[in-house]
């Protein structure tokens, strides 16, 4: 058995609360988002894990979630890498639009396709496949080698940048990934085998309310 990889989606952001497409825009966490990050951090503290390194995106909501989690596990000085490779999927021209207004304008089905299909990008933005095309190489070169060396690695990122990773780790099909939503602030703990396949996965919290 090699190391441990923990993935966590940032807590609720101000734009999540306002139901706006966010992508590469950079809103803060809400009070609830701060609470969710604390809950995720406490779950990891109870789990008893001590991390060797952490990774996050170039966006505040993920960085602040990471800071709160590290506070909870007593590791505020942990070595951390920030990279835009882990940023949320770029929502292009949809960024800043209200999701319900978009449904009223383009229809429920089209908006669902933009949000959850594998390879249909929103206008001017990235599909999940495009997102994976930058997340996956970063994972392979920067994150996975550390896990395979036996390190415990924390990644605080975003709904879709993490979905693109989970799709490969959990061996999900394009149809299965469509139905997968990640809850905010809920850590997923993966133990990897030496051949980088998944030995076990534990979810420290409730994913059922995710949408
Ligand atoms: O960028 C966004 O709007 C959210 O973080 C993720 O949105 P989604 O669940 O609509 O993909």
Enter the tokens of residue 71: 């506070």
Percent of the chain with pLDDT over 70: 100
Percent of the chain with pLDDT over 90: 93
Residues 60 and 10: their CA atoms lie apart, in Å, by 9
> Would you say the ipTM is above 0.90?
yes
Contact 46, 210 (CB under 8 A): no
Mind listing the pLDDT tens digit for each residue in 70-110?
999 999 999 999 999 999 999 999 999 999 999 999 999 99
The continuous run of DSSP H or E covering 102 comes out as: helix 99-106
For residue 1, the model assigns a pLDDT of 63
User: Is residue 211 included in any domain, yes or no?
Assistant: no
Tell me, yes or no, whether 42 lies in a domain: yes
Q: What is the pLDDT of residue 159?
A: 97
Is the per-residue pLDDT at 128 higher than 70?
Answer: yes
Which of 9, 88, 116 to mutate for ligand 1's pocket (most ligand atoms within 8 Å of CB)?
88
Flag whether 208 is in a domain. no
Residue 211: pLDDT above 80? no
138/30 Cα distance (integer angstroms): 29
Counting the structural domains of the chain, the total is 1
**19 CA → ligand 1 middle, Å:** 9
Ligand 1 — pocket residues by CB below 6 A?
21-23, 88, 91, 115, 158-160
Give residue 152's domain range: 4-203
Residue 210 domain-assigned (yes or no): no
| 3-state SS, residue 6 | strand
The dihedral through the CA atoms of 155, 82, 30, 76 has a sign that is positive
CATH number at residue 171: 3.40.50.1240
Centre of ligand 1 from the C-alpha of residue 86, in Å: 14
What pLDDT score was predicted for residue 210?
Answer: 83
Q: Examine residue 63 and state whether it is found in any structural domain, yes or no.
A: yes
pLDDT band at 178 (very low <50, low <70, confident <90, very high): confident
Q: Which among 3, 10, 51 has a CA at the least distance from the CA of 159?
A: 10
């Amino acid at each position: 058995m090699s190391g441990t990889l923990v993935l966590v989606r940032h807590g609720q952001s101000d734009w999540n609360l306002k139901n706006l497409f966010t992508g590469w825009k950079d809103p803060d966490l809400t009070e609830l988002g701060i609470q969710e990050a604390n809950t995720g951090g406490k779950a990891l503290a109870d789990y008893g894990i001590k991390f060797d390194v952490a990774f996050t995106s170039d966006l505040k909501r993920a960085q602040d979630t990471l800071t709160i989690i590290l506070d909870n596990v007593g590791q505020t000085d942990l070595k951390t890498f920030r990279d835009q490779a882990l940023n949320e999927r770029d929502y292009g021209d949809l960024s800043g639009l209200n999701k319900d207004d978009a449904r009223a304008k383009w229809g429920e089905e089209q908006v669902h396709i933009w949000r959850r299909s594998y390879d249909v990008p929103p206008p001017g933005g990235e599909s999940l496949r495009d997102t994976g095309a930058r997340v996956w190489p970063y994972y392979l070169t920067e994150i996975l080698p550390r896990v395979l060396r036996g390190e415990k690695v924390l990644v605080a990122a975003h709904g879709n940048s993490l979905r693109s990773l989970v799709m490969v780790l959990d061996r999900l099909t394009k149809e299965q990934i469509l139905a997968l939503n990640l809850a905010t602030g809920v850590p997923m703990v993966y133990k990897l085998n030496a051949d980088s396949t998944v030995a076990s996965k534990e979810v420290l919290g409730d994913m059922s309310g995710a949408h």
